[in-house]
């Protein structure tokens, strides 16, 4: 079964920090990308709406690993000098962007009619309408599914280990292949992922309660 | 090389990969739904088992599926079970997706009227028969759309088995890319094949939903 080499946990902890960083960048980038993407879904032009539909269909119907390998092998072919970190982060942003966009689209669809009508009758310009009406309401409606996708992002970042992005899963795999301390190392890795994902979930619920107390979040959408 | 020529030369490779992916996904999906039903039964059988099932579900929902895959692939040989990689990987998918299926079925359980429990008891059905003949069939029918979503995720997750040497679609594409030096052709075709599989899964579940809808 092999002994656990000293310093394994520190190595895994370092990997977990990288995983968290990858997820944080993907969540931030994915959210910005998703806002742009979701506006396509409400375009007046059928072609633009179709582009949105196709993008979401392709991203949701293809494994993250296949997209990651595609970008990993295709980017050097475009003669851009990028390591797996750039390719991996890019893919993660593109991937979770589609998931966030679907969440936001659902939130916009949940905005009741009178809100749209009053925004129009106030004569709000488009940007003010987005900032004062759409963004607050969508935030209110979509907080729980948004947090779900955030948790999913942390878990999805593990897939990048296969394109040699060094993070928690790859750190664990490297130690296992050297030492065969399979159960201990994977147990530790699972515990670290659990703390990150479960912690994120609890943080989301806490935020929801906090906003609820301030009268911001209504009933769960 | 033109796309048509690429398909003509490497078509059989893709067919092999598609076969492995489809077989693994089908086996793991059936296994996961079965395991989810067992977890549901355990959850209903008392507060102790219900807490154990909750802990199991939380653990698997908050860890990536690659961990159980590696656990079984690297761990089973150490305990004297040198099973083929595809069995280890398939089993890992069953364990992970079974947790999600158990949650889905629990949601479906809420849709069933409490009166049915009393009705089942008053006609003398044992708890086991109540579960098997009254609860489970209804819960499964209510859960068809959500189960369909879960199976779609499972189909995509079979791609992770390429990390443990299973020669499914993603692995074939990787091998082709490394053999031919082509940058992306192999993966574009594989992406299309996954879209096909996912769409077929969605259509199947939608048809099943329509076929058994009685309300």
Q: Residues B112-150: pLDDT tens digits? A: 888 888 899 899 999 899 988 889 999 999 999 999 999
pLDDT bracket for residue A1 (50, 70, 90): very low
Query: Which residues in chain A are contacts of B198 at CB distance < 8 A?
Result: 60-62
pLDDT at residue A74 tops 90: no
**Does the CB of A216 have a partner CB in chain B at under 8 Å?**
no
Question: What is the Cα–Cα distance from B199 to B193, expressed in whole angstroms?
Answer: 10
CA distances to A163, B41, B140 from B134, in Å: 48, 13, 11
Integer Cα distance of A25 and A92 in angstroms: 9
Size of interface A-B (CB pairs under 8 A): 113
Q: What is the pLDDT of residue A220?
A: 45
Asked whether residue B183 carries a pLDDT value surpassing 80, the answer given is no
**Alpha helix locations (H) across A8-124?**
8-40, 46-61, 64-77, 84-109, 113-121
For B98-107, write each residue's pLDDT tens digit.
Answer: 999 999 999 9
Question: What is the ipTM score, two decimals?
Answer: 0.91
With CB atoms and an 8 Å threshold, state whether A162 touches B157. no
Percent of chain B, pLDDT > 70? Answer: 99
Q: What is the mean pLDDT of residues B152-173?
A: 96
Who among B67, B174, B177 is closest to A186 (CB)? B67
Is B173 part of the contact surface with chain A (CB cutoff 8 Å)? yes
A127-157 residue pLDDT tens? 888 888 888 889 888 999 999 999 999 999 9
What is the pLDDT confidence band of residue B212, given thresholds at 50, 70 and 90? confident
Q: How far is B132 from chain A (nearest CA, A)?
A: 33
pLDDT band at A75 (very low <50, low <70, confident <90, very high): confident
B1 band by pLDDT with thresholds 50, 70 and 90:
low
Interface subset of A 39-98, CB within 8 angstroms of B: 57-58, 60-67, 69-70, 73-74, 76-77
Q: Looking at per-residue confidence, does A150 or A78 come out higher?
A: A150
CA distance B182 to chain A (A): 9
Structure confidence at residue A221 (pLDDT): 40
pLDDT tens, B40-90?
999 999 999 999 999 999 999 999 999 999 999 999 999 999 999 999 999
Query: If residue B7 lies in a helix (H) or strand (E), which one and from where to where?
Result: helix B3-44
Residues 6 or more apart whose Cβ sits within 8 Å of residue B173? A66, A69, B17, B186, B187, B189, B190
Mean pLDDT, residues B162-184: 90
| pLDDT, mean of residues B148-172 | 96
pLDDT at A17: 97
Q: Which of A17, A6, A10, A37 minimizes the C-alpha distance to A166?
A: A17
Q: Give me A113's structure tokens.
A: 């009619």
Q: With an 8 Å Cβ cutoff, are B62 and A197 in contact?
A: yes
> Could you tell me which chain B residue has the CA closest to the CA of A200?
B62
Chain B residues touching residue A176 (CB < 8 angstroms): 70, 74
Element (H, E) at A78: none
Q: Any idea what the Cα angle at residue B49 is, between residues B46 and B52, rounded to 5°? A: 145
Residue range A118-135: mean pLDDT, rounded: 88
Give ∠ CA A127-A131-A133 in degrees, rounded to 5: 110
| A103-115 pLDDT tens trace | 999 999 999 989 8
Distance, in Å, from the CA atom of B91 to the CA atom of B65, rounded to the nearest integer, reads 11
Mean pLDDT, residues B5-19 taken together: 88
Backbone angles phi, psi at B98, to 5 degrees: -60, -35
């Amino acid at each position: 079964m092999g002994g656990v080499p000293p310093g394994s946990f520190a190595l895994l902890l370092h990997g977990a920090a990288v995983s968290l960083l990858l997820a944080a960048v993907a969540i931030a980038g994915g959210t910005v990308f998703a806002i742009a993407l979701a506006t396509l879904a409400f375009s007046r032009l059928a072609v633009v709406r179709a582009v949105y539909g196709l993008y979401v269909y392709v991203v949701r119907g293809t494994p993250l690993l296949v997209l990651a390998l595609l970008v990993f092998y295709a980017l050097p072919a475009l003669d851009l000098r990028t390591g797996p970190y750039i390719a991996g982060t890019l893919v993660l942003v593109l991937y979770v962007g589609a998931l966030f966009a679907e969440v936001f689209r659902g939130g916009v669809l949940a905005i009741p009619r009178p809100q749209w009508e009053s925004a129009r009758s106030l004569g709000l310009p488009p940007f003010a309408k987005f900032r004062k009406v759409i963004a607050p309401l969508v935030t209110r409606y979509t907080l729980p599914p948004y947090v779900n996708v955030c948790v999913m992002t942390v878990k999805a970042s593990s897939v990048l280990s296969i394109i040699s992005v060094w993070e928690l899963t790859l750190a664990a795999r490297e130690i296992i292949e050297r030492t065969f301390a399979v159960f201990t190392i994977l147990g530790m890795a699972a515990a670290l992922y659990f703390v990150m994902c479960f912690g994120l979930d609890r943080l989301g619920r806490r935020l929801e309660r906090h906003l609820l107390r301030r009268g911001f979040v209504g009933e769960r959408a | 090389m033109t796309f048509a020529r690429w398909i003509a030369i490497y078509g059989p490779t893709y067919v092999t990969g598609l076969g492995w992916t489809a077989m693994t996904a089908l086996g793991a999906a059936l296994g996961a739904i079965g395991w989810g039903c067992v977890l549901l039964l355990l959850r209903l059988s008392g507060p102790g088992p219900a807490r154990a099932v909750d802990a199991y579900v939380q653990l698997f929902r908050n860890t990536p599926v690659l961990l159980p895959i590696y656990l079984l692939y690297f761990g089973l040989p150490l305990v004297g079970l040198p099973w083929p990689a595809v069995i280890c990987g398939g089993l890992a998918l069953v364990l992970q997706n079974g947790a999600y299926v158990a949650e889905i079925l629990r949601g479906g359980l809420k849709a069933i009227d409490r009166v049915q429990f009393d009705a089942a008891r008053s006609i003398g059905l044992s708890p086991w028969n109540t579960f098997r003949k009254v609860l489970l069939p209804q819960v499964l029918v209510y859960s068809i759309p959500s189960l369909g979503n879960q199976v779609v995720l499972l189909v995509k997750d079979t791609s992770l088995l390429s990390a443990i040497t299973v020669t499914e679609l993603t692995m074939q594409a990787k091998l082709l890319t490394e053999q031919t030096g082509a940058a992306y052709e192999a993966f574009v075709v594989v992406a299309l094949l996954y879209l096909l599989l996912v769409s077929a899964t969605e259509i199947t579940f939608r048809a099943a939903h329509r076929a058994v809808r009685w309300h």
